[in-house]
Amino acid sequence: MNSKKIKENFNKIFLNIKDDYLLVTFFIVLNLINSIIIRLVTVKNGLSISPLLVDLSFLIIISLISLLFKRKKRIKYFITVSVILNIVCIINSIYYHYYSSFASISLLATAVFAADVSDAIVENVLKPIDLIYIWQSIALYIFYRYLKKKNYFKYEIKQENKKIIKKGVLTSLFLFLIAAFFMPLNAWARLYKLWNRESVVMNYGIYVYQLDDFIQSLTPKINSLFGHDSSLKKVSDFYEENSYHASQNEYKDIFKGKNVIVIHAESMQTFPMNLSFNGEEVTPNLNKIASEGIFFSNFYSQVGVGTSSDAEFTFNTSLMPSTRGTVFVNYFDREYIAIPELLKEKGYYTYSMHANTGEFWNRNTMHKNLGYDKFYSKDSYIIDETIGLGLSDKSFFKQSIDIMKDIKEKEGTPYYGLLIMLTNHTPFSDLELMDEYPTTIDVDIDNQTVTRNYLNNTTMGNYLRSVHYADQAIGEFINNLDKEGLLENTVLVIYGDHDARLDFDDFNLLYNYDPITDTIKTEEDEGYIPYNKYNYELDRKVPLIIWTKDQSFNLDVNIPMGMIDVLPTLGNMLGIHSEYQMGKDIFELKDPDNMVVFVDGSFLTSKVYYNSPKSEIYSINNEPITEDYIKIRSKYASELIEISNDIISYDLIKELKSVKLRN
Ligand code: GP9
Ligand code: MN
């Protein structure tokens, strides 16, 4: 026997003995490592035991499927599956860095809008770490070349597939059961309900999460077959228990019959309202009207992945946004009860204005559904000055005033108008097109004035300058409305649509920078302001201001309030309500400890911020929080999310209304 033959025989025997375990092991280990990496860079539980075992169990099952193929095809199968799992990791990694949640198949339709703001994503979101997963596909390919060189594919071997499958399935099941043993009790429910996506990834790993999401994204399509009846019952019971009671407070009907102008302030958070640089306020105009009107200083947006569109939806309908897709995109054909529709019934003319294309967020369709008589979108504007995503806010407001004057003259009825701003959108670029605003501090050192440009090139610095521009635009708009007599008999409402996804570290810099020493203060330093992830959550609040020119109502409301509380609160002032509103009139609270629920099940009260995915409690005033306090509210938070989800997916308002009519 020559040496070549010996080698060939050795390979044949060696690889036969090994069966295909070598390849399978390689495939499993590579994908296991990627799953660990993604959890390390997102939910930070890379080495947790349960997701590791679930991943292993999942990858064993996937590997068993390869037995259906012959060796040559089997490698193709492994490469294809690896590429798919690779893509799952990359997309979820990017997605997490943008939305702090995981991607959903049901959002494929929403992805179109992500393409439109792709600059923002590339500049602000895409981190090199998001591409690290590619190493797995490369490694597998190199391994394939190695096997080929070893003539691995030349020999087909006889295997006792049935035995292997049986062993494999049993092992996989065993691993899954051990994993389940290490999971918290609510992990099963979360896998089924899936709105707490972070927690599903933390317990089951990225692959099972994505599989779960895939299966669940099919459910709305077949909703008439599954779950409808039980959901209808659940929702009817909820409204029976929480039936609508008309408010009787002093704000009832105070603005009845008045015109309403609503400004949707893109990415406007509340904290810049408390900031000044060298004595100059960042938002002098917002501060002025906040001090002259009703300022809700503890107000939070409750958006999901539908961001701007979810803010519009929650503001107008008092329902939580869908956690299975986006209402504006996936559930535009359902029936909703919304502020424009309700005011239309009272004889109002209703319109919306936004200088982006009407297709964006499917607004063309959804604005009609919400009850706007007319939507003035990009086509109604001359794009004479572009900043960031499109027409600058200053030009948008100027041009809108002309349209509003016409509406006032033509319609002769009260009106409800929504103006959606655009400029202050991440990535806060084109700053050179905005007026100079110094985000710097001047300090005296040895009788010399030193200018500290410490926010230079930070997202925070850019954001504050952009916020200052948005504030100027709002100020100019209010002045022009006044000049045109459009503030008479009119209520102005301004809300920030959601937070701006700023960097956590930038906040520490903002609050703990010492201009004298040009360093960031640490715990040991005097005047250090502790800033943790909960402070960051609390800083995500957005402004809500209700203002009239005569300043007839002037107060600061600092009860925690969410976007779903707007319809009940503002509606009471305007003399409208929805039987299906899930929020509360903030001036009519039975329990003054109001609760703001977020789409992942986290919630906030005046006492606590509770992070549901991580089951972490943050006592805001350091007072002890009982287990019951959290338990009761956690239950209510899930109820709110699920009821809204069911109403939206199964189109239940339509049914509840017709049942009511029949009775
Ligand atoms: C686009 C604007 C931005 O028209 O409303 O949407 P967002 O990215 O904030 O959801
Ligand atoms: Mn927005």
Which residue puts its alpha carbon closest to atom 7 of ligand 1? 308
**Distances in whole angstroms, Cα of residue 144 to Cα of each of 78, 147, 235, 398, 488:** 10, 5, 55, 63, 75
| Residue 226 and residue 459 in contact, taking contact as beta carbons nearer than 8 Å | no
Predicted local confidence at residue 510, as pLDDT? 95
**Ligand 1 and 308: CB distance under 6 A:** yes
Percent share of the chain, pLDDT over 70: 92
Q: CA-to-CA distance for 497 and 195, rounded, in angstroms?
A: 21
Which tokens go with 640?
């709110």
**Ligand 1 and 307: CB distance under 6 A:** yes
Low-confidence winner among 26-40, 45-59, 60-74 (lowest mean pLDDT): 60-74
Contacts of 235 (CB under 8 A, 6+ apart): 643, 646, 647, 652, 656
Predicted local confidence at residue 345, as pLDDT? 97
State the average pLDDT over residues 546-571.
97
| Residue 363 and residue 354 in contact, taking contact as beta carbons nearer than 8 Å | yes
Dihedral in degrees, nearest 10, Cα atoms 544, 546, 551, 556: -40
Predicted local confidence at residue 13, as pLDDT? 47
Predicted local confidence at residue 632, as pLDDT? 96
- Give me the helix-helix angle, 459-483 and 393-411, nearest 10°: 30
- What's the 410 CA to ligand 1 centre distance in angstroms? 30
Q: What is the pTM of this model?
A: 0.81
Domains and CATH numbers, the chain: 3-217 (no CATH), 233-662 (3.40.720.10)
Q: What is the mean pLDDT of the chain?
A: 90
pLDDT band at 421 (very low <50, low <70, confident <90, very high): very high
In tens, the pLDDT along 304-356 reads 988 999 999 999 999 999 988 789 988 988 999 999 999 999 999 999 999 99
pLDDT band at 387 (very low <50, low <70, confident <90, very high): very high
Name the H helices within 150-283.
161-182, 187-193, 197-217, 228-241
| Residue 137 and residue 83 in contact, taking contact as beta carbons nearer than 8 Å | yes
One-letter identity of residue 208:
V
- What's the 121 CA to ligand 2 centre distance in angstroms? 14
In tens, the pLDDT along 427-484 reads 898 999 998 888 999 999 999 999 999 999 899 999 999 999 999 999 999 999 999 9
Given the DSSP bridges, would you call strands 596-597 and 374-376 parallel, antiparallel or unpaired?
unpaired
Please state, as a whole number, how many other Cβ atoms lie within 10 Å of the Cβ of residue 538: 16
Q: Is the peptide bond before 51 cis (omega within 30 degrees of 0)?
A: no
What sign does the CA torsion over 306, 308, 312, 318 have? positive
Query: For residue 380, how far is the Cα from the chain centroid?
Result: 30
Query: Tokens 């001359």 sit at which residue?
Result: 382
Query: For residue 628, how far is the Cα from the chain centroid?
Result: 28
**Ligand 1 and 426: CB distance under 6 A:** no
Given the DSSP bridges, would you call strands 608-611 and 276-277 parallel, antiparallel or unpaired?
unpaired
Please state, as a whole number, how many other Cβ atoms lie within 10 Å of the Cβ of residue 116: 15
Name the H helices within 18-48.
21-41
State the average pLDDT over residues 101-117.
69
Own/partner pairs for 548-554, CB < 8 Å, 24+ apart?
Answer: 548/255, 548/258, 548/293, 548/487, 548/490, 548/491, 548/492, 549/482, 549/487, 549/488, 549/490, 551/292, 551/293, 552/254, 553/251, 553/254, 553/293, 553/294, 554/291, 554/292, 554/293, 554/294
Say how many CA atoms lie within 13 Å of 491 toward its Cβ.
23
Q: What is the DSSP letter of 78?
A: H
**Ligand 1 and 264: CB distance under 6 A:** no
pLDDT band at 154 (very low <50, low <70, confident <90, very high): confident
In tens, the pLDDT along 580-639 reads 999 999 999 988 899 999 999 999 999 999 999 889 999 999 999 999 999 999 999 999
pLDDT band at 17 (very low <50, low <70, confident <90, very high): very low
Predicted local confidence at residue 232, as pLDDT? 93
| Residue 359 and residue 336 in contact, taking contact as beta carbons nearer than 8 Å | no
Predicted local confidence at residue 640, as pLDDT? 96
Predicted local confidence at residue 228, as pLDDT? 86
**Left, alpha or beta for 493 (phi > 0: left; psi -120 to 50: alpha)?**
beta
Query: For residue 625, how far is the Cα from the chain centroid?
Result: 27
- What's the 395 CA to ligand 2 centre distance in angstroms? 19
Percent share of the chain, pLDDT over 90: 70
Which residue puts its alpha carbon closest to atom 10 of ligand 1? 308
| Residue 551 and residue 288 in contact, taking contact as beta carbons nearer than 8 Å | no
Which residue puts its alpha carbon closest to atom 3 of ligand 1? 308
DSSP string, 323-361: SSS-HHHHSTTS----HHHHHHHTT-EEEEEESS-TTGG
| Ligand 1 pocket test target in 360, 363, 463, 542 with most atoms within 8 Å of CB | 360
381: nearest Cα among 356, 345, 360, 414? 356
